[in-house]
C-alpha cells in the first residue's frame, strides 16, 4: 500500500530547495518509526515520491508526498507518527491510503493554484489592474526554462483562472511536464502589461495553495482526492 | 521597513538563505521570557562549518536544558549577506529570535582555529558590541570564548572578557550562573569579571598585566588584583562516561560539512605525537563505555533520522573495544539502514569479515597519516607508524578491493631535510607498487594515491612550542621539490601555499600585542581568512607593518629554553618540564612510548584518579625556571581536591 501525505512547506523554510525538502521528509519518515519500504541495492533509500517540486523561495500549503509502506498502516497512525517526527515548518494535514496500483502523482498532476502575495500595495494595484488586459489578449508570450534550455512559449492557454484582490493575485495554471506556467512567468507578463520597468524590484511571496488533477468529468479536483 | 522585513528582503537576494533562517528539526526555541539568562553561541565561521561542530551541539544543548538559561545560535554571515546587512543597517542577529547580539547577556565564541579570529571581530562589530573589551559598558554583553585556541588566549584577549580553559561542559554553567547573579544582584561589570576570575578554569584578561623585555619577549605576566589567580587551571570532565551529551541534536535542512551523527567515543590520546596540540591538551585519555555509546547512538538515530553514524575521537582505532562497539552498533542499526563509518586505520580481519557480510563498507577511500617521509623524522615527531605498517595496510586495502588511498604528510617539520622529502615520494611509490602486486583480475580498477601535504605550524603546549616554523621561501622550495619527486604515475599531489600557515603560526604562539595586528587587519578588510578566495595575505603583512611588529618574531624564531611564554600561566595538565624533555628527545630522534605501555610523567599524574595510566611516583618537582607560576604555598594534592569539590 501507499500513503499520500498532504503537507505544508512553511514560510520560514521557503528558501529550502526541493532536494533538501526531500531529504528532510526522508529523515522525518525515519524518525517516525513508520514501516516505510526501502529500495533494494547498495544504498537503500526510502521509497517516497513527491507530486511536484516546489521552487526555492516559494511555500506550499498542500504539497503531497507519496510513501510506499512495507506493511499496512492506518491514515491516523501515519498522521500522528509523522507529526511527532516533523519540524513545525513541515506539518502534515491529511493522509490518504491508496493501493499500490494507484497512478503516480506526477502523471495525474494537471494544474496548481497559486497566491502571489505582493509586499507593496501600490505595485499590487497596478498588477491587478493589468489582469483584464492580459486576459483579453490572444496570446501571451513568455520564456520557459526546460531541460534543453530556454524556450519561447505562449502561456495564455495555460492560465485557467486569474483574479486579484487586495494585494494578492490568485492564479490557477497548468502544471504538467509539457505545459506549465510558473509564477515568475505570470509575473513577468503582468509586469509588462502594468508597465513596471525592469529595474524596479517587485517583492512578493509565492504560495502554492493546491495541486490539482482532473476527474473523469474533466473537472479539476485536488490531486490527493483523485 | 521594520527589522524583520529588512531581513526577509535580504534573504531573497543572498545565496544560501537557509544559512540564516534556522527552524531546523530539534532546534529548541525557548521564549525570551521563559529563561532569565540569554546566551548566544557564536561560531566564527559559516553555518555549514559551525553546524558540523560537536562542541557547539554539546554546549547549546547543555545551556538550553537549564530552566534558567536559553541559548540561541549565530554564525559568520557570508560576504553577500554581510554587505547587504551593512547597506540595510541590519545588525548581526541570532537565528532563533532574530535579536541583535548586543541584546544578549552573554556572547560565547568557540575558537577552533586562529584564522577565524577576524570573524570574531566582524561578528562583534556587526552585532553592535564594542570591539575592544575596555570600551564595553555596563549594558554591553559579557563576551566569553573557549575551545582549543583558548589554550593561548592572549592574541585575542583585547576583544574577549573571559576565557574558558578546558572542558566547556564543566565550566559553562558555572560561568553563566555568575552572570545571572550579576543580573539579579546588579553587580558592576568589573565586579562580575572579578567573580568570574574566581571560577576555576576562567581567565579574565583585564585582570592581568604583561611586561616585555627589550628583545620583545615576555618579561612578566601577573594578575593586577587579588581576585585573579596567578595560574589558571584547565577544567576536566570528571566522569567522561556520564558527562552531558545531547541526544536531540539539530538536523540542518541544507547539507553541512559533517551531516551525520557524531558519537564521541573517547577523549584524549595516548600516542604523544609531538606536533599534535590536541594530543597534549585533551589528556588524559578517557573512554565512553560501550553501553553508554549504544544508548546514545540509539537515542540520536531516533531523534535525528540520520542515516550515518561516525565515531569521533583523536584516535578511534585505540578505543579498547572498537570491534565490539562496531558489531553491536551494526547489529542494532541494520533494520534502520544506518551505516557506521569507521576509522579507516584499524580494520582488523575479523571486523573486515563482518563488514563484508553486512555490505556496509563503502569502498571509497582509505586515509593514512604517516606525517613524515622517513623513519628518522617520524621518530622526531614521535609518530608511531613504521613503513612496514603502512605498506601492509595498503596491501590489505588493495587486496580487499580498495583502489584509492590518501596519504597525509606535513612539510617543514623540525630537522626536516631533502632526504625526508624524498622519503615521501619513496613511500608513495611503494604504495603504488603494492597495488600492482595484486593480480589484475582481482584488484579494483582506477588506482588513486593522493598525497596531501600541509605546512607544519608549531603550537603552544606541545614539545615544538620552542621550534621555528620554516620561512615562506623555504617552504616554497620544499613544495617545489615535492612536486618534482612526486611526478609518479597514479599519484596525485595536493599542497597548500604556506601563507595561511605562516599567519596561523604567528597567532597560535602570539602574545597580547599581536591583538593590535588582528584589529588592524580587520580594519583593512581581512575576514573569512580560512576561505582561500577571501584571504588577503598582503593586507595582513601591511597590518603587521602598521603596528610595528615582525611576523617572523612569532613564527620563525627558535625560542630559548627559559623563555617565558604568553600561555605559561595556564596549567593545561601537561607540564612545561615534560614538554622540554620531549623536545630534547625529539632532537635526538628518540621516541617516547605510548602512555598505555607505561606512564611518561607528562604532568597529568599530578591529579590523582584522572588518568588510568598515570604513575603517581612520576610526580617529580619540575625545575623552577620552567614553571614560573607554580604556587609554592599550595601542595598539588590540595589543588586536585579543590578541583573535585
Reported as a single tens digit per residue, the pLDDT across B374-411 is 999 999 999 988 899 889 888 888 888 888 899 999 99
What is the model's pLDDT at position B335? Answer: 82
What is the model's pLDDT at position B327? Answer: 86
Q: Rounded to an integer, what distance in angstroms lies between the CA atom of residue A110 and that of residue B289?
A: 57
B639 band by pLDDT with thresholds 50, 70 and 90 = very low
Nearest-CB residue to B23 (from A12, A23, A85): A12
Q: Are residues A140 and A113 in the same domain?
A: yes
Residue B344 clears pLDDT 80, i.e. is over it: no
Answer yes or no: are the C-beta atoms of A140 and A189 closer than 8 Å.
Answer: yes
Contacts of A44 in chain B (CB under 8 A): 337
What is the model's pLDDT at position A43? Answer: 76
Q: Rounded to an integer, what distance in angstroms lies between the CA atom of residue B492 and that of residue B469?
A: 26
What is the model's pLDDT at position B363? Answer: 60
Residue A14 clears pLDDT 70, i.e. is over it: yes
Q: How far is A217 from chain B (nearest CA, A)?
A: 41
Pick the residue from chain B with its C-alpha nearest to A29.
Answer: B305
CB contact under 8 A, A24 and B304: no
B355 band by pLDDT with thresholds 50, 70 and 90 = low
CB contact under 8 A, A16 and B254: yes
Contacts of B303 in chain A (CB under 8 A): 31
What is the model's pLDDT at position B623? Answer: 44
Give the mean model confidence (pLDDT) for residues B585-603. Answer: 94
For chains A and B, count residue pairs whose Cβ atoms are closer than 8 Å.
Answer: 59
Tens of pLDDT along B46-99? 999 999 999 999 999 999 999 999 999 999 999 999 999 999 999 999 999 999
Tens of pLDDT along B503-556? 999 999 999 999 999 999 999 999 999 999 999 999 999 999 999 999 999 999
CATH second-level architecture of B3-233?
3-Layer(aba) Sandwich (3.40)
Share of chain B above pLDDT 90, in %: 78
How many C-beta atoms lie closer than 10 Å to residue B151's C-beta?
24
Give the mean model confidence (pLDDT) for residues B635-643. Answer: 38
Residue B176 clears pLDDT 60, i.e. is over it: yes
DSSP-assigned letter for residue B152 = S
CB contact under 8 A, B305 and A29: yes
Mutation choice for A interface testing from B13, B23, B24, B88 by most A CBs within 10 A: B23
CB-based contact, B303 to chain A, within 8 Å: yes
Among the residue ranges B191-195, B241-245, B292-296, the one predicted with the least confidence is: B241-245
Detail the DSSP E strand segments found in B423-488.
448-455
Answer yes or no: are the C-beta atoms of B127 and B72 closer than 8 Å.
Answer: no
Q: Are residues A147 and A186 in the same domain?
A: yes
Q: Are residues A97 and A172 in the same domain?
A: no
Q: Are residues A26 and A130 in the same domain?
A: no
Tens of pLDDT along B296-314? 999 999 999 999 998 888 8
- Which residues make Cβ contacts (< 8 Å) with residue A217, sequence separation at least 6? none
CB-based contact, B367 to chain A, within 8 Å: no
CA B222 to chain centre: 27
Among candidate residues A76, A104, A132, the one where a domain is terminated: A104
Answer yes or no: are the C-beta atoms of B20 and B228 closer than 8 Å.
Answer: no
CB contact under 8 A, A20 and B18: yes
What is the model's pLDDT at position B397? Answer: 82
CB-based contact, B9 to chain A, within 8 Å: yes
C-alpha cell at B179: 552572570
Domain extent, residue A66, equals 2-104
How many C-beta atoms lie closer than 10 Å to residue B468's C-beta?
16
Nearest-CB residue to B11 (from A15, A23, A27): A15
| Percent of chain B as helix, strand, coil, to the nearest 5 | 40, 15, 45
Q: Are residues A31 and A132 in the same domain?
A: no
Share of chain B above pLDDT 70, in %: 92
CB contact under 8 A, A33 and B22: no
Beta-ladder partners of A118: A204
Nearest-CB residue to B306 (from A16, A27, A44): A27
Q: How far is A156 from chain B (nearest CA, A)?
A: 28
Pick the residue from chain A with its C-alpha nearest to B251.
Answer: A24
Delimiting residues of CATH 3.40.50.280 domain(s) in chain B: 3-233
Give the mean model confidence (pLDDT) for residues B407-423. Answer: 96
Give the mean model confidence (pLDDT) for residues A201-216. Answer: 96
- In the numeric block, the cell 560565547 is attached to B108
Q: Are residues A57 and A134 in the same domain?
A: no
Give the mean model confidence (pLDDT) for residues B245-264. Answer: 92
Q: Are residues A79 and A158 in the same domain?
A: no
CB-based contact, B401 to chain A, within 8 Å: no
Residue B471 clears pLDDT 80, i.e. is over it: yes
Q: Are residues A48 and A100 in the same domain?
A: yes
What is the model's pLDDT at position B595? Answer: 93
CB contact under 8 A, A24 and B11: no
What is the model's pLDDT at position A44? Answer: 82
What is the model's pLDDT at position B620? Answer: 56
Residue A176 clears pLDDT 50, i.e. is over it: yes
CA B196 to chain centre: 24
Helical spans, DSSP H, in A63-195? 75-85, 105-108, 121-129, 131-136, 183-194
Q: Rounded to an integer, what distance in angstroms lies between the CA atom of residue A152 and that of residue A181?
A: 12
Give the mean model confidence (pLDDT) for residues A55-83. Answer: 97
Give the mean model confidence (pLDDT) for residues A10-36. Answer: 96
Q: Rounded to an integer, what distance in angstroms lies between the CA atom of residue B241 and that of residue B300?
A: 17
| b/e burial code for range B335-371 (CB count within 10 A of at least 16 → b) | eebbbbebbbbebeeebeeebeeeebbeeeebebbbb
Q: Are residues A82 and A179 in the same domain?
A: no
Residue B347 clears pLDDT 50, i.e. is over it: no
Q: How far is A106 from chain B (nearest CA, A)?
A: 24
CB contact under 8 A, A13 and B336: no
Tens of pLDDT along A119-156? 999 999 999 999 999 999 999 999 988 888 888 999 99
Among candidate residues A44, A74, A104, the one where a domain is terminated: A104
What is the model's pLDDT at position A202? Answer: 95
CB-based contact, B307 to chain A, within 8 Å: yes
B114 band by pLDDT with thresholds 50, 70 and 90 = very high
CB contact under 8 A, B336 and A30: yes
Helical spans, DSSP H, in B534-614? 537-547, 551-555, 576-587
Share of chain A above pLDDT 70, in %: 100
Residue B274 clears pLDDT 70, i.e. is over it: yes
CB-based contact, B21 to chain A, within 8 Å: yes
Q: Rounded to an integer, what distance in angstroms lies between the CA atom of residue B346 and that of residue B343?
A: 6
CATH second-level architecture of B260-360?
2-Layer Sandwich (3.30)
B252 band by pLDDT with thresholds 50, 70 and 90 = very high
What is the model's pLDDT at position B626? Answer: 45
Residue B2 burial (CB < 10 Å; 0-12/13-18/19+)? exposed
Interface of B with A in 216-245 (CB under 8 A): none
Mean pLDDT of chain B: 91
Beta-ladder partners of B18: none
- The helix (H) or strand (E) run that includes residue A145 is strand A141-146
Amino acid at each position: 500500500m501507499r500513503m499520500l501525505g498532504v503537507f505544508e512547506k512553511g514560510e520560514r523554510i521557503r528558501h529550502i530547495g526541493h532536494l533538501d525538502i526531500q531529504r528532510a521528509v526522508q529523515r522525518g519518515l525515519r524518525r517516525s518509526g513508520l514501516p516505510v519500504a526501502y529500495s533494494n541495492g547498495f544504498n537503500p533509500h526510502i521509497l517516497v515520491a513527491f507530486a511536484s517540486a516546489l521552487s526555492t523561495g516559494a511555500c506550499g500549503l498542500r504539497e503531497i508526498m507519496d510513501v510506499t509502506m512495507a506493511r499496512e498502516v492506518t491514515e491516523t497512525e501515519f498522521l500522528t507518527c509523522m507529526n511527532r517526527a516533523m519540524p513545525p515548518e513541515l506539518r502534515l494535514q491529511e493522509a490518504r491510503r491508496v493501493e499500490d496500483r494507484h497512478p503516480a502523482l506526477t502523471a495525474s498532476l494537471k494544474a496548481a493554484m497559486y497566491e502571489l502575495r505582493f509586499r507593496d500595495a501600490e505595485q499590487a494595484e497596478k498588477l491587478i489592474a493589468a489582469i483584464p488586459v492580459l486576459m483579453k489578449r490572444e496570446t501571451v508570450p513568455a520564456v520557459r526554462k526546460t531541460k534543453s534550455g530556454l524556450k519561447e512559449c505562449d502561456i495564455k492557454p495555460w492560465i485557467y483562472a486569474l483574479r486579484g484582490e487586495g494585494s494578492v493575485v490568485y492564479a490557477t495554471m497548468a502544471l504538467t511536464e509539457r505545459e506549465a506556467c510558473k509564477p515568475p512567468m505570470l509575473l513577468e507578463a503582468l509586469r509588462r502589461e502594468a508597465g513596471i520597468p525592469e529595474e524596479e524590484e517587485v517583492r512578493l511571496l509565492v504560495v502554492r495553495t493546491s495541486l490539482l488533477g482532473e476527474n473523469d468529468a474533466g473537472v479539476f479536483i485536488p490531486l490527493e482526492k483523485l | 521597513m521594520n527589522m524583520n522585513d529588512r531581513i526577509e528582503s535580504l534573504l531573497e537576494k543572498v545565496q544560501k538563505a537557509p544559512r540564516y533562517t534556522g527552524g531546523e528539526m530539534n532546534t529548541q526555541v525557548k521564549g525570551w521570557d521563559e529563561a532569565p539568562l540569554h546566551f548566544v553561541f557564536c561560531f566564527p565561521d559559516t553555518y555549514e562549518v559551525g553546524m558540523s561542530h560537536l562542541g557547539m551541539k554539546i554546549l547549546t544543548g547543555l545551556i538550553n536544558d537549564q530552566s534558567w538559561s536559553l541559548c540561541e545560535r549565530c554564525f559568520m554571515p557570508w560576504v553577500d549577506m554581510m554587505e547587504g546587512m551593512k547597506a540595510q543597517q541590519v545588525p548581526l542577529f541570532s537565528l532563533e529570535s532574530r535579536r541583535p547580539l548586543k541584546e544578549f547577556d552573554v556572547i560565547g565564541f568557540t575558537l577552533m582555529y586562529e584564522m577565524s579570529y577576524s570573524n570574531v571581530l566582524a561578528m562583534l562589530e556587526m552585532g553592535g558590541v564594542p570591539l575592544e573589551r575596555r570600551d564595553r559598558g555596563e549594558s554591553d554583553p559579557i563576551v566569553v570564548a573557549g575551545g582549543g585556541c583558548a589554550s593561548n588566549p592572549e592574541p585575542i584577549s583585547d576583544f574577549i572578557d573571559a576565557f574558558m580553559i578546558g572542558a566547556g561542559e564543566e565550566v559553562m554553567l558555572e560561568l553563566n550562573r555568575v552572570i545571572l547573579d550579576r543580573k539579579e544582584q546588579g553587580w558592576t561589570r568589573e565586579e562580575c569579571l572579578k567573580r568570574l576570575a574566581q571560577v576555576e578554569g576562567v581567565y579574565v584578561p583585564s585582570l592581568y598585566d604583561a611586561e616585555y623585555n627589550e628583545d620583545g619577549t615576555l618579561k612578566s605576566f601577573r594578575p593586577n588584583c587579588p581576585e585573579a589567580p596567578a595560574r589558571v587551571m584547565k577544567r576536566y570532565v570528571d566522569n567522561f562516561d556520564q558527562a552531558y551529551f545531547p541526544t536531540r541534536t539539530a538536523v540542518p535542512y541544507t547539507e553541512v560539512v559533517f551531516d551525520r551523527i557524531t558519537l564521541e567515543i573517547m577523549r584524549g590520546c595516548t600516542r604523544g605525537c609531538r606536533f599534535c596540540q590536541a594530543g597534549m591538551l585533551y589528556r588524559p585519555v578517557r573512554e565512553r563505555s560501550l553501553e553508554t555509546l549504544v544508548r546514545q547512538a540509539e537515542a540520536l538515530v531516533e531523534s535525528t533520522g540520520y542515516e550515518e553514524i561516525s565515531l569521533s575521537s583523536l584516535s578511534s582505532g585505540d578505543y579498547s573495544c572498537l570491534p565490539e562497539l562496531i558489531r553491536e552498533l551494526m547489529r542494532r542499526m541494520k533494520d534502520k539502514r544506518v551505516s557506521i563509518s569507521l576509522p579507516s586505520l584499524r580494520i582488523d580481519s575479523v571486523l573486515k569479515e563482518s563488514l563484508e557480510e553486512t555490505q556496509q563498507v563503502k569502498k571509497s577511500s582509505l586515509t593514512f597519516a604517516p606525517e613524515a617521509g622517513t623513519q628518522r623524522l617520524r621518530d622526531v615527531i614521535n609518530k608511531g607508524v613504521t613503513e612496514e605498517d603502512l605498506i601492509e595496510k595498503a596491501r590489505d586495502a588493495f587486496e580487499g578491493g580498495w583502489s584509492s588511498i590518501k596519504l597525509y604528510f606535513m612539510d617543514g617539520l623540525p630537522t626536516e631535510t631533502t632526504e625526508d622529502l624524498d622519503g615521501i615520494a619513496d613511500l608513495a611509490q611503494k604504495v603504488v607498487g603494492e597495488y600492482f602486486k595484486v593480480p589484475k583480475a582481482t584488484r579494483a580498477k582506477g588506482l588513486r594515491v593522493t598525497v596531501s601535504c600541509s605546512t607544519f605550524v608549531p603550537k603552544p603546549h606541545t614539545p615544538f612550542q620552542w621550534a621555528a616554523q620554516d620561512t615562506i621561501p623555504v617552504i616554497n622550495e620544499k613544495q617545489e621539490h615535492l612536486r618534482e619527486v612526486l611526478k609518479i604515475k597514479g599519484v596525485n599531489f595536493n599542497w597548500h601555499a604556506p601563507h595561511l600557515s605562516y599567519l596561523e603560526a604567528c597567532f597560535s604562539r602570539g602574545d597580547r600585542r599581536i591583538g593590535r595586528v588582528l584589529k588592524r587587519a580587520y580594519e583593512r578588510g581581512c575576514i573569512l581568512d580560512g576561505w582561500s578566495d577571501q584571504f588577503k595575505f598582503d593586507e595582513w603583512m601591511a597590518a603587521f607593518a602598521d603596528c610595528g611588529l615582525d611576523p617572523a618574531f612569532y613564527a620563525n624564531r627558535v625560542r630559548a629554553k627559559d623563555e617565558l611564554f604568553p600561555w605559561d600561566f595556564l596549567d593545561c595538565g601537561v607540564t612545561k618540564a615534560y614538554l622540554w624533555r620531549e623536545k630534547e628527545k625529539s632532537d635526538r630522534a628518540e621516541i617516547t612510548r605510548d602512555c598505555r605501555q607505561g606512564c611518561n610523567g607528562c604532568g597529568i599524574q599530578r591529579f590523582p584518579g584522572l588518568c588510568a595510566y598515570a604513575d603517581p611516583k612520576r610526580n617529580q618537582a619540575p625545575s623552577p625556571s620552567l614553571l614560573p607560576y607554580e604556587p609554592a604555598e599550595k601542595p598539588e594534592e590540595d589543588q586536585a581536591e579543590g578541583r573535585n569539590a
